[in-house]
């Protein structure tokens, strides 16, 4: 994946011995499971599914747990048809990633608390809602590239289906219905320090007015640069083709900083381009591996 997001060290050189060693490591790791964790000396470099929107195609090593948390996030919408502007505050949204096998993991994503405030000159149109958010159950299967992403030209591909479960249908924070989707993450190692992540996918959300489910398509691209073994930056475009509700186009940038091999800090900001997008969305987070 893009190094600014993942912290994956990609300056390994193009030598036959490195390729053979990578293949050997992948074979050796096939025997590890949730009940038989991967030992420290065989762990791949830590990769994360945050801070950008683009998901990484790499999975957590078998038997290991990785926790990725958005410590705080804020978003301000554009004015709607009534001239109301909405501020959204996000606290502690966490993705718990558990390695099941050398190429498969399961994720649980949950927002413990959020606040939505609608601002308007008419007191009757002002809104304040708060509570817990939805829960996503996700699975990621790496098809190739988990342990062979060492030199320019290498690629990695995964598939990531998920289902969204409501926790409180009336609090304005959680989803109101069971929704689902699928994402296909792809990454290419461009140079010793530069990487590109691409996602394509679809979401299926309940339509209360017409019944059934509406389909929206997503596409993202994240270009990341690794300044050194600790510091990385990324630049991203994310698009949701949402049909009648208006397409969402977001530009984002941010940085990651690895405190050690198992702990990473991050911060970023997104800017909405289209009327359906939030105007601005800054955030900070942390990721740790056990």
pLDDT of residue 170: 87
Determine contact, residues 169/176, Cβ cutoff 8 Å. yes
Q: pLDDT tens digits for 133-142?
A: 999 999 999 9
Q: How far apart are CA 128 and CA 116, in angstroms?
A: 6
Give the largest CA-CA distance in the chain. 70
Q: Distance from CA of residue 146 to its chain's centroid? A: 17
Q: What percent of the chain has pLDDT over 90?
A: 80
Beta strand 179-189 with 194-206: parallel, antiparallel or unpaired? antiparallel
Tally of domains in the chain: 1
Per-residue tokens: 23:
């293949």
CATH code, domain with 167 = 2.40.160.40
pLDDT of residue 208: 77
Per-residue tokens: 215:
């389909």
Q: Write out the residue range of the structural domain in which residue 249 sits.
A: 3-289
Residue 89, pLDDT above cutoff 60: yes
pLDDT of residue 7: 42
Q: How far apart are CA 104 and CA 218, in angstroms?
A: 23
* pTM of the predicted protein model: 0.88
């Amino acid at each position: 994946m893009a190094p600014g997001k993942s912290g994956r060290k990609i300056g390994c050189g193009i030598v036959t011995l490195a390729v053979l060693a990578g293949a050997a490591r992948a074979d050796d790791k096939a025997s590890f499971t949730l009940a038989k964790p991967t030992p420290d000396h065989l762990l791949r470099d830590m990769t994360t599914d945050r801070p950008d929107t683009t998901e990484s195609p790499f999975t957590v090593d078998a038997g290991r747990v990785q926790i990725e948390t958005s410590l705080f996030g804020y978003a301000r919408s554009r004015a709607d048809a009534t001239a109301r502007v909405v501020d959204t505050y996000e606290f502690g949204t966490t993705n718990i990633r558990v390695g099941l096998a050398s190429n498969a993991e399961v994720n649980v994503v949950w927002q413990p608390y959020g606040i939505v405030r609608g601002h308007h000159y008419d007191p009757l149109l002002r809104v304040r809602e708060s509570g817990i958010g939805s829960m996503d159950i996700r699975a990621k299967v790496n098809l190739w590239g988990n342990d062979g992403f060492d030199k320019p030209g290498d690629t990695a591909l995964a598939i990531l289906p998920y289902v969204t479960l409501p926790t409180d249908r009336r609090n304005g924070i959680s989803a109101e219905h069971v929704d689902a989707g699928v994402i296909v993450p792809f990454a290419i190692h461009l140079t010793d320090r530069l990487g590109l992540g691409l996602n394509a996918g679809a979401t299926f959300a309940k339509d209360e007015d017409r019944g059934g489910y509406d389909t929206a398509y997503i596409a993202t691209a994240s270009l990341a640069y690794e300044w050194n073994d600790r510091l990385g930056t990324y630049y991203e475009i994310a698009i949701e083709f949402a049909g009648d509700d208006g397409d969402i186009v977001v530009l984002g940038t941010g940085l990651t900083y690895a405190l050690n091999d198992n702990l990473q800090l991050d911060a970023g900001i997104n800017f909405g381009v289209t009327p359906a997008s939030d105007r601005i969305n800054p955030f900070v987070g942390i990721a740790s591996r056990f």
